[in-house]
Structure 1
């Protein structure tokens, strides 16, 4: 099980590294900026998760994660150099896939180390959104997690489906697949149809009493 979980983790890192590289391209960064943005996007969420769980940070003892980041970033750069325009939609799609990957990986790791279901969902959400949050802050963009369309909420829904599947006795792999696809579907549907969670009534202005 550890082997395929490691490969899933590497896949998530690769996808988020692509998202970071796309953002670096959008912001016209140099090579060092590309590496920094790809790295913080790819490992930021997992780093926070491991620190909260008081575990060794996953990339410190395993350099393969950085190899994957470099390969993903370099491959994306080569691909982008053949394009005439910036494919913004690919940034959102890569981010959505990375979000779903890291949500289920954060959930699975939290459950493995004895976290309660509620805490596991929270850690899965943090794992999914934190790398993108750092990326957007560095680039002076409004973080996707703070925009109207479902983002963190997609992680929560996917996490709840993971926990429900686990409590129904499904295998770890089945739970992860279900959680992944529900998270991804929620995020993609939110992007397409602009789903959001309204809190305040719409108004034209705010007046002081």
Structure 2
């Protein structure tokens, strides 16, 4: 099993957990849990593979990914009530998933010999689009669009850090590890310490 496959499986599983937890907040049935979990788990990777024109979308060539997402959804369906704060769990699981999915996107782009800018965009796409779909479908305010929230910024920083590490001579596995570390550190800091970006504030026009 290659490093890329491991990253994909890990991202699918953890993102599926977040999708199922959001489904629990929306009080969906078991089919709804599986749908939302699967959408969250494979959404970003699907868009990535379509944009890069890969031979087959990753979960189509290996449907086991959907099985992993469904298993995560069923597990959450029977255990979500045990969590004291499901929203807090969603935030931290999502941070972990982001830190896995961004390196997965970076790895796929590197494997297809994409230029640096595309590598960064694919890292962001893989890390952010599944969660965006999840929140929109479940009528939640998307985490990626919350005011000042460090989310896309974390993916951007992580993917860029991977490219810098490669340029400095680091191996591919080490650069992906650095990508994951930077992504998670920034996202965890925003959750634990309230780190935020400044937001645009409109001023009245001058008379």
Q: Which interval holds the TM-score relative to the shorter structure?
A: over 0.9
Instruction: Please show how residues 23-172 of structure 1 align to structure 2 within 5 Å.
Output: 23-55=22-54, 56-81=56-81, 83=82, 85-147=84-146, 148-172=148-172
Length, aligned pairs only: 205
How far is 1:84 from its partner?
A: 6.6
Q: Deviations over 1:123-166 (max 9, x none)?
A: 11011000000011011111111112100000011111111111
Closer, same or farther in 2 for the Cα pair 1:84/1:68, shift >3 Å? closer
Which runs of 5 or more residues in structure 2 are unaligned? none
1:188 is aligned to 188
Closer, same or farther in 2 for the Cα pair 1:163/1:143, shift >3 Å? same
Which runs of 5 or more residues in structure 1 are unaligned? none
Residues 4 and 107, structure 2, Cα contact 8 Å, conserved in 1: no
- Structure 1 outlier segments of 4+, above 3 Å: 206-209
Closer, same or farther in 2 for the Cα pair 1:164/1:23, shift >3 Å? same
Q: d(CA) in 1 for partners of 2:79 and 2:182?
A: 29
What TM-score, normalized to structure 2?
0.93
Residues 44 and 130, structure 1, Cα contact 8 Å, conserved in 2: yes
Q: Deviations over 1:82-109 (max 9, x none)?
A: x274432110011111111111110111
Q: d(CA) in 1 for partners of 2:80 and 2:200?
A: 40
Q: d(CA) in 2 for partners of 1:46 and 1:91?
A: 20
Closer, same or farther in 2 for the Cα pair 1:101/1:84, shift >3 Å? closer
